[in-house]
C-alpha cells in the first residue's frame, strides 16, 4: 500500500484537534520524497531509510512539515568509515532557512558531540561540545535532541551527553545532514509543539563562495593567494594536502603541493584546476603575482621530516609562468635556504622585486625583506627589520608602496600585537617594528585605486583593517568571515569592490572567497 504523505498526516492531526502537541514518525520511502527538501542529488529514500551516499562535503535534507517550537527529535544513524574527514551525522531543528538553524553534530571520527547554531553569515556558532563518547563508524547509534524553551539536551544511545541553553531561534523545521560522511538514517521520530515561521522557509545562500573544496590531494586546502591578471581573469593559488602539514606518505608520495584555479567572472565561479608545482617535499603557503611584462611569479616554501617528529625547513622558492599560468617552471628558483615567506612579490616602479620574509633563530624571530634586480632569477640576502625591545615577530611579512615612495611593512606576532615598519630607501633599511595596536596573523596589504589601504589578516577570525591616511592610522577590525584559517589575500575588481580569498581551517578545510565594499563606515560584505 502506498505511504500516506506526511502533510496529510499532519492535516488529519490538525482536524482532529491535535495540532498541539504534534507527534509523527515519517515513513522513509521513495513515495514520501516530496515531503523533503533534499539539497543535493546524493540523497535517496527507500526501505525505511534516508541515505546520503557521498563521503565528502556537507549535505542537508529538511522535512517540509511540521513547524515546531518545542521539539523532541530522534533517529538512528550509521556513518561509514570510508574516506577522510570527520564522518559526522547531523540533526537540525528550529530551522527558519537552510542556513539558519540549530544543529547537533555527531562526529564519529573524533568521538564527540557538538551543539551549534548557524546563520547565513556564520555557519558555526558553537554553543557546547563534549568529547570522549562511544561514537563509532559502521555502527547504528541513536541520537535524540529535546529543546524546551531555551533548554537543550542531547542524547546518545539513550544516555544524556550534553545540556545547554539558547533561545535565539523560536521555531522552525527539522532536518538531517552529513559532514564528510556517507550516512544512513532510520526510525525518525518528530514530536513537539506547533510553531510558526515569520516568513517563508528558503534555501539560503551564504555571503561567500567556494573557490575549491577538494584538489585531489587529500581534501585539505589552505593558504591561498589571488591575483587579477592582465587578461581580466583571477588566478588563485593554494596549498593542497591531507592536513595542515602533509609530508610524503604512501597515499601522497610527494607530499603537499601547490595548485591553482581560475575565475573568468570576478569570483562568481571557479574552474580549470591545475598543479602549479609538486616537488618531493611538502610545498606550501604559495603566493602569486603578475609582473608588468606578463610573467607570473609563484613563491612558496617547503618542509620535510626532521628528527623527533619535528619539521625541517627546505627553504623558500619561486616558479614562473610566461603563458598565463598554463605551464610553470619544472625546477624552482631558490630564494633563501633559511628565510621563509607568506606574501607575494611586490614589483617596484624600476622593476625591482621585493618580498616580505621572516626567520627564527635561537628563540628569537623577526621579519625581513628580500630583493631581486633580475625578475626573481637571483635574490640578495634579506634585509632584517629590527624589532622593538622584547618584541617577538614570527613575522609573515608583507609590504606596500605608498604614493610618496615610502614602503610600509606589516609583521605578525603570535605573542602580542601586530607590528609595522617603514622604509624610505626602497627597502634597503627599515625602522624599528612597533605595535600597530591590534593583534593579527598572516597580513596582506593592498592599496586600492581610491587610496584606501586594506590590511587583511587572521584575528579575530578572518578580518581586515583599513587606513585612509597611508598606514598612519587604522580602522577596524571588520569581520569578513567567522572561519579562523584566514591567510587572506585581496584583489580589486573593476567595479571597485574587493575580492577576499581565504581558507576555513580544520579537517577537510576548503578555500572560500567573499566580495567586499569599502564604505564611509568601514568595510561590508557584499552578498
* 10 sits in which H/E element: helix 6-15
Neighbouring C-beta atoms of residue 391, cutoff 10 Å: 20
* 474 sits in which H/E element: none
6-194: CATH superfamily: Exo-inulinase; domain 1 (2.60.120.560)
* 222 sits in which H/E element: strand 220-228
In sequence order, what are the beta bridge partners of 176? 61, 91
pLDDT band at residue 309 under the 50/70/90 scheme: confident
pLDDT band at residue 59 under the 50/70/90 scheme: very high
The pLDDT tens digits of the residues spanning 251-285 come to 999 999 999 999 999 999 999 999 999 999 999 99
| pLDDT of res. 308 | 84
Quote the cell numbers at residue 60. Answer: 542537508
One of 2.40.128.20, 1.10.3720.10, 2.120.10.10, 3.50.40.10 is the CATH number of 208-526, namely 2.120.10.10
Q: What's the length of the chain?
A: 527
Rg of the chain over Cα atoms, rounded to whole angstroms, equals 26
Is the confidence at residue 22, as pLDDT, over 90?
A: no
d(CA 69, CA 103): 15
Strand residues in 386-448 grouped as ranges (E): 398-401, 407-411, 419-423, 434-435, 441-447
Is the confidence at residue 56, as pLDDT, over 90?
A: no
| pLDDT of res. 139 | 98
Neighbouring C-beta atoms of residue 269, cutoff 10 Å: 12
The answer to whether 45 touches 183, Cβ cutoff 8 Å, is no
| pLDDT of res. 6 | 45
Is the confidence at residue 7, as pLDDT, over 50?
A: no
* Angle at CA of residue 497, ends 57 and 421, nearest 5°: 95
Q: What is the mean pLDDT of the chain?
A: 94
Q: Cite the residue boundaries of each domain of the chain with CATH code 2.60.120.560.
A: 6-194
The pLDDT tens digits of the residues spanning 170-216 come to 999 999 999 989 999 999 999 999 999 989 999 998 899 999 999 99
Q: Cite the residue boundaries of each domain of the chain with CATH code 2.120.10.10.
A: 208-526
d(CA 222, CA 244): 8
Exposed (0-12), middle (13-18) or buried (19+): which is 372, by Cβ within 10 Å? buried
CA 274 distance to own-chain centroid = 20
Is the confidence at residue 448, as pLDDT, over 90?
A: yes
d(CA 85, CA 44): 22
80: helix, coil or strand? coil
d(CA 308, CA 104): 38
Minimum mean pLDDT among 8-12, 163-167, 356-360, 447-451: which range?
A: 8-12
Q: State residue 273 phi and psi, 5-degree precision.
A: -65, 135
The pLDDT tens digits of the residues spanning 324-359 come to 999 999 999 999 999 999 999 999 999 999 999 999
180: helix, coil or strand? coil
Sheet holding 173-179, edge to edge: 36-38, 58-63, 173-179, 88-97, 100-107, 112-118, 125-130
103 vs 83 pLDDT, higher one: 103
In sequence order, what are the beta bridge partners of 36? 63
384 half-sphere exposure, CB direction, 13 A CA radius? 12
Contacts of 346 (CB under 8 A, 6+ apart): 289, 353, 354, 355, 356, 399, 400, 401
pLDDT band at residue 21 under the 50/70/90 scheme: confident
d(CA 90, CA 60): 9
Enumerate the H helices of 241-327 as residue ranges: none
Residue 352's closest CA among 336, 335, 372? 372
pLDDT band at residue 20 under the 50/70/90 scheme: low
Contacts of 31 (CB under 8 A, 6+ apart): 2, 3, 5
Q: State residue 451 phi and psi, 5-degree precision.
A: 100, -15
Tell me which DSSP letter residue 33 carries: G
Is the confidence at residue 382, as pLDDT, over 60?
A: yes
385 vs 363 pLDDT, higher one: 385
56 vs 252 pLDDT, higher one: 252
The pLDDT tens digits of the residues spanning 101-129 come to 999 999 999 999 999 999 988 888 999 99
Is the confidence at residue 16, as pLDDT, over 70?
A: no
The answer to whether 143 touches 17, Cβ cutoff 8 Å, is no
Q: Which residue reads 593559488 in cell numbers?
A: 237
Quote the cell numbers at residue 457. Answer: 589578516
Contacts of 526 (CB under 8 A, 6+ apart): 207, 497, 514, 515, 516, 517
Give how far Cα 183 sits from Cα of 39, 77, 107, 212, 414, Å.
15, 7, 12, 23, 40
Q: Which residue reads 591561498 in cell numbers?
A: 224
Contacts of 249 (CB under 8 A, 6+ apart): 242, 255
Amino acid at each position: 500500500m502506498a505511504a500516506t504523505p506526511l502533510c496529510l498526516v499532519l492535516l488529519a492531526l490538525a482536524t482532529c484537534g491535535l495540532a498541539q502537541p504534534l507527534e509523527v514518525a515519517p515513513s522513509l520511502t521513495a513515495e514520501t520524497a516530496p515531503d523533503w527538501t533534499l539539497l543535493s542529488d546524493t540523497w535517496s529514500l527507500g526501505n525505511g531509510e534516508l541515505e546520503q551516499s557521498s563521503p565528502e562535503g556537507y549535505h542537508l535534507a529538511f522535512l517540509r512539515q511540521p513547524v515546531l517550537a518545542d521539539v523532541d527529535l530522534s533517529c538512528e544513524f550509521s556513518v561509514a568509515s570510508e574516506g577522510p574527514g570527520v564522518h559526522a551525522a547531523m540533526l537540525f531543528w528550529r530551522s527558519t532557512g537552510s542556513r539558519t538553524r540549530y544543529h547537533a553534530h555527531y562526529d564519529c571520527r573524533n568521538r564527540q558531540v557538538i551543539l551549534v547554531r548557524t546563520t547565513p553569515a556564520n555557519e558555526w556558532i558553537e554553543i557546547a561540545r563534549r568529547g570522549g563518547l562511544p561514537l563509532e563508524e559502521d555502527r547504528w547509534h541513536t541520537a535524540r535532541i529535546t529543546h524546551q524553551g531555551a533548554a537543550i539536551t542531547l542524547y546518545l544511545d539513550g544516555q544524556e551527553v550534553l545540556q545547554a541553553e539558547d533561545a535565539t531561534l523560536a521555531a522552525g523545521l527539522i532536518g538531517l545532514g552529513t559532514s564528510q560522511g556517507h550516512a544512513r538514517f532510520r526510525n525518525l521520530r518528530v514530536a513537539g509543539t506547533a510553531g510558526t515561521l515569520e516568513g517563508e522557509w528558503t534555501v539560503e545562500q551564504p555571503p561567500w563562495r567556494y573557490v575549491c573544496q577538494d584538489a585531489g590531494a587529500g581534501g585539505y586546502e589552505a593558504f591561498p593567494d589571488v591575483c587579477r591578471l592582465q587578461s581580466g581573469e583571477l588566478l588563485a593559488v593554494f596549498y593542497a594536502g591531507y592536513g595542515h602539514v602533509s609530508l610524503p606518505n604512501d597515499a601522497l608520495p610527494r607530499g603537499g603541493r601547490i595548485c591553482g584555479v581560475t575565475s573568468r567572472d570576478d569570483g562568481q565561479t571557479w574552474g580549470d584546476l591545475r598543479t602549479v608545482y609538486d616537488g618531493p617535499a611538502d610545498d606550501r603557503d604559495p603566493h602569486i603575482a603578475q609582473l608588468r611584462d606578463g610573467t607570473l611569479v609563484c613563491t612558496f616554501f617547503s618542509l620535510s621530516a626532521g628528527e623527533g617528529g619535528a619539521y625541517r625547513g627546505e627553504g623558500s622558492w619561486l616558479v614562473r609562468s610566461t603563458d598565463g599560468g598554463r605551464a610553470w617552471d619544472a625546477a624552482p628558483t631558490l630564494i633563501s635556504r633559511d628565510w621563509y615567506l607568506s606574501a607575494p612579490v611586490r614589483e617596484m616602479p624600476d622593476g625591482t622585486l621585493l618580498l616580505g620574509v621572516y626567520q627564527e633563530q635561537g628563540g628569537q624571530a623577526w621579519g625581513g625583506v628580500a630583493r631581486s634586480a633580475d625578475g626573481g632569477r637571483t635574490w640578495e640576502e634579506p634585509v632584517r627589520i629590527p624589532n622593538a625591545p622584547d618584541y617577538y615577530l614570527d613575522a609573515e611579512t608583507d609590504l606596500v608602496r605608498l604614493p610618496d615612495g615610502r614602503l610600509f611593512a606589516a609583521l605578525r606576532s603570535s605573542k602580542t600585537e601586530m607590528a609595522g615598519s617603514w622604509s624610505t630607501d626602497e627597502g634597503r633599511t627599515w625602522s624599528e617594528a612597533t605595535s600597530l595596536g591590534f593583534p593579527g596573523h598572516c597580513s596582506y596589504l593592498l592599496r586600492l585605486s581610491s587610496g584606501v589601504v586594506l590590511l587583511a589578516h587572521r584575528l579575530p577570525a578572518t578580518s581586515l583593517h583599513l587606513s585612509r591616511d597611508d598606514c598612519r592610522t587604522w580602522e577596524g577590525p571588520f569581520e569578513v568571515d567567522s572561519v579562523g584559517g584566514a591567510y587572506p589575500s585581496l584583489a580589486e575588481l573593476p567595479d571597485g569592490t574587493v575580492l577576499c580569498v581565504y581558507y576555513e581551517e580544520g579537517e577537510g578545510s576548503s578555500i572560500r572567497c567573499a566580495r567586499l565594499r569599502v564604505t564611509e563606515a568601514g568595510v561590508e560584505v557584499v552578498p
